[in-house]
């Protein structure tokens, strides 16, 4: 991929000087040739008046800190200010690793419970186990004090090589256990699951486009191929995006040399380009289905648009979010940052999928509006601008102006939803029961090495449901069997998936939950029928 990497290196974000912010901190904005503009003079005058005449003493730095987000919001919905205190956490989410202790946890009944211990991480090395309850961190009580997820993360994460002491309550010990843990690099996995969904068909779930996503993605596809997969389902539902260049590399795996991946257009040379495939992709002959929903955005839409416009994949699901703006992050002198929109991207057919943001209030509620007018349940309710029409490589019609429209619409699945299910799900009882079930049966369940073996260790469906209903009744949700029977299959499937997650890891959750997923089922049907075969011909010709 060396040629591709060289081409993509032009897209590594550059640190830009933002004169208006420098003016905030330096007290002046001076154009080298013409001096400050009238607007810059006006702004500085207002600051001086506030400093000298406001009735109370004002911390101008604090005032400006509160003003910057509002200033950027008036540009577009995706330009944003990141305070210095949040920048590290925001970057960690995409950079592929952070420094911490290596656990996944949940907060239940004001108690921090360890769900998973990352193999090879600092916590596993000292003996932390799934099911442990964290009672104290560095001598500070964190159980029963109303602590939040963010507060827990701030205490557990820290500089590599630094030490943190945990006091642990373990079910087989009457005394609290003490562990000194040296923080280390913890990988941030962006591929949640890879498994064989049907003979010859591999499934891969990508949750974001981070720094390590391409490597994870390629390794996942290669693993699936070794296990017999020839065709692939790529699940980007809920994936809000990330680094654009990662989407380019992923799309390159499926495209022939010279085929366009994406074009970008900005105000300067560094914001404009035309990215094409270099022909080194290893999966150019595979059938591909991409799953999208209304929360698939940005890089997800670049990837899906590249494969759709080149007639290289079937898109299944619901219309994507509609974010076609490009942001560049610039670090400011105080280690805060802004992400400023510096360009727009266009799919190979030339369409912009950015939805209208002239009214920011309407933009913020656009997804809710889709639900209210029925778009999630009927393709006929989709509000599409048919005047913005484009053609794919082989002549199919696609549309711009508001997200990637799927080739095959699959409505939001409401089967099995009842008031009982909604109530127990909103109360977190499904997750709590699954955790406690695994906690009570860990010695037995841990003998399973895969999903099939685990399912053989679980009670039959009716017994599992009865046990859960009794648990829910003890926790304030009495049995309502008419509604429970409606939700029977949904509740049982979710319980099995959650138990698998807490026993085998996150990937096992999808392997079970997808068994009842109508999008995945439709994708398998289309692949088995050869309907995603390359090339996809125009409608009516295949």
Burial 102-125 (b: 16+ CB within 10 A, else e): bbebbbeeebbbbbbbbeebbbee
pLDDT at position 281 over 70: yes
Active-site choice (99, 123, 296, 298): 298
pLDDT at position 346 over 60: yes
Strands 288-292 and 314-317: parallel
Instruction: Name the nearest CA neighbour of 331 among 22, 78, 28.
Output: 22
Model confidence pLDDT, tens digit, residues 354-394: 998 888 888 888 998 998 999 999 888 887 777 788 999 99
Residue 27: partners with Cβ closer than 8 Å, 6 or more residues away: 44, 47
pLDDT at position 474 over 90: yes
Model confidence pLDDT, tens digit, residues 40-54: 888 889 888 988 888
Phi-psi region of 136 (alpha: psi -120 to 50; beta: other; left: phi over 0): beta
How high does pLDDT run on average in the chain? 87
Q: Which residues pair with 178 in a beta bridge?
A: 167
The beta-strand segments (E) located in 118-215 are: 133-137, 140-141, 163-169, 177-182, 184-187, 191-198, 201-206
Instruction: Name the nearest CA neighbour of 314 among 170, 529, 148.
Output: 529
∠ CA(401), CA(527), CA(405), 5° rounding?
Answer: 10
Instruction: Name the nearest CA neighbour of 108 among 501, 432, 511.
Output: 432
Q: Which residues pair with 231 in a beta bridge?
A: 201
pLDDT, average across residues 208-214: 94
Q: Which residues pair with 187 in a beta bridge?
A: 97
Asked if residue 126 has a cis previous peptide bond (ω within 30° of 0), the answer is: no
The token pair that represents 244 in the structure block: 């654009």
Q: Cα(418)–Cα(428) distance, rounded to whole angstroms? A: 16
Instruction: Name the nearest CA neighbour of 313 among 23, 135, 523, 532.
Output: 532
Give 15's DSSP letter: P
Residues of the chain above pLDDT 90, percent? 55
Q: Cα(200)–Cα(158) distance, rounded to whole angstroms? A: 44
- Tell me the CA distances in angstroms from 382 to 173, 236, 305, 402, 495, one per residue in order: 58, 20, 18, 11, 34
**Residue 194 · residue 204 · CB < 8 Å:** yes
Q: Cα(542)–Cα(540) distance, rounded to whole angstroms? A: 6
Q: How many residues does the chain have?
A: 542
Q: Cα(206)–Cα(212) distance, rounded to whole angstroms? A: 11
300 is catalytic: no
**Residue 285 · residue 534 · CB < 8 Å:** yes
Residue 206: partners with Cβ closer than 8 Å, 6 or more residues away: 190, 191, 192, 213, 217, 234, 235, 236, 239
Asked if residue 514 has a cis previous peptide bond (ω within 30° of 0), the answer is: no
Model confidence pLDDT, tens digit, residues 165-178: 999 998 778 889 99
SS3 201: strand
Active-site choice (323, 496, 502, 513): 323
323 is catalytic: yes
Residues of the chain above pLDDT 70, percent? 91
Active-site choice (235, 309, 311, 502): 309
Residue-level pLDDT at 107: 85
pLDDT at position 9 over 70: no
Residue-level pLDDT at 233: 98
Model confidence pLDDT, tens digit, residues 515-535: 999 999 999 999 999 888 754
Grade residue 21 by pLDDT with cuts at 50, 70 and 90.
very low
pLDDT at position 29 over 60: no
The token pair that represents 277 in the structure block: 């495939």
SS3 534: coil
Grade residue 34 by pLDDT with cuts at 50, 70 and 90.
low
223 is catalytic: no
């Amino acid at each position: 991929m060396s040629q591709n990497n060289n081409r993509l290196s032009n897209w590594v974000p550059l640190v830009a000087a933002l004169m208006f912010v420098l003016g905030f901190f330096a007290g002046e904005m001076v154009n080298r040739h013409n001096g400050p503009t009238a607007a810059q003079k006006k702004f500085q005058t207002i600051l001086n008046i506030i400093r000298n005449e406001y009735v109370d003493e004002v911390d101008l730095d604090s005032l400006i800190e509160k003003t910057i987000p509002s200033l950027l919001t008036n540009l577009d919905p995706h330009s944003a200010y990141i305070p210095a205190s949040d920048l590290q956490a925001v970057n960690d989410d995409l950079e592929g690793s952070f420094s911490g202790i290596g656990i996944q946890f949940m907060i239940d009944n004001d108690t921090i419970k360890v769900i998973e211990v990352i193999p090879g991480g600092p916590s596993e090395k000292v003996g932390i186990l799934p099911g442990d309850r964290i009672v104290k961190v560095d001598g500070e009580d964190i159980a029963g004090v109303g602590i939040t997820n963010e507060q827990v993360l701030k205490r557990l994460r820290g500089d590599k090589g630094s030490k943190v002491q945990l006091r642990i309550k373990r079910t087989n010990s009457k005394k609290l256990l003490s562990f000194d843990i040296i923080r280390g690099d913890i990988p941030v996995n962006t591929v949640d699951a890879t498994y064989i969904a049907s003979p010859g068909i591999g499934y891969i779930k990508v949750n974001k486009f981070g720094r390590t996503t391409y490597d994870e993605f390629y390794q996942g596809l290669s693993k699936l191929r070794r296990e017999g997969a020839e065709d692939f389902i790529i699940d980007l539902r809920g994936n809000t995006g990330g680094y654009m260049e990662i989407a380019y590399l992923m799309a390159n795996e499926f495209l022939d040399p010279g085929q366009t991946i994406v074009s970008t257009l900005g105000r300067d040379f560094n914001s404009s380009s035309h990215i094409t495939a270099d022909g080194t992709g290893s999966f150019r002959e595979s059938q591909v289905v991409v799953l999208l929903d209304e929360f698939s955005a940005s890089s997800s839409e670049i990837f899906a648009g590249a494969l759709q416009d080149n007639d290289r994949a079937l898109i299944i699901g619901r219309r994507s979010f509609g974010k076609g703006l490009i942001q560049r992050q610039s670090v400011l002198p105080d280690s805060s940052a802004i992400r400023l929109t510096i360009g727009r991207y266009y799919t190979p057919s030339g369409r912009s999928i950015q939805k209208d943001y002239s009214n920011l209030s309407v933009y913020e509620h656009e997804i809710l509006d889709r639900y209210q007018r029925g778009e999630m349940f009927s393709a006929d309710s989709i509000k599409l601008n048919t005047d913005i029409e484009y053609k794919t490589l082989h002549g199919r019609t696609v549309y711009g102006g508001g997200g990637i429209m799927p080739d095959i619409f699959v409505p939001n699945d409401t089967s099995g939803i009842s008031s009982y299910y909604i109530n127990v799900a909103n109360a977190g009882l499904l997750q709590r029961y699954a955790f406690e079930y695994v906690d009570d049966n860990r010695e037995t369940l841990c003998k399973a090495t895969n999903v099939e073996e685990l399912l053989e260790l679980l009670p039959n469906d009716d017994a599992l449901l009865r046990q859960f209903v009794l648990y829910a009744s003890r926790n304030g949700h009495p049995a309502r069997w008419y509604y429970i029977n409606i939700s029977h299959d949904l509740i049982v499937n979710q319980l099995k998936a959650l138990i698998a997650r807490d026993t085998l890891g996150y990937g096992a959750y999808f392997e079970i939950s997808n068994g009842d997923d109508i999008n995945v089922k439709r994708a398998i049907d289309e692949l088995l029928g050869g309907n995603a075969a390359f090339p996809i011909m125009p409608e009516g010709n295949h």
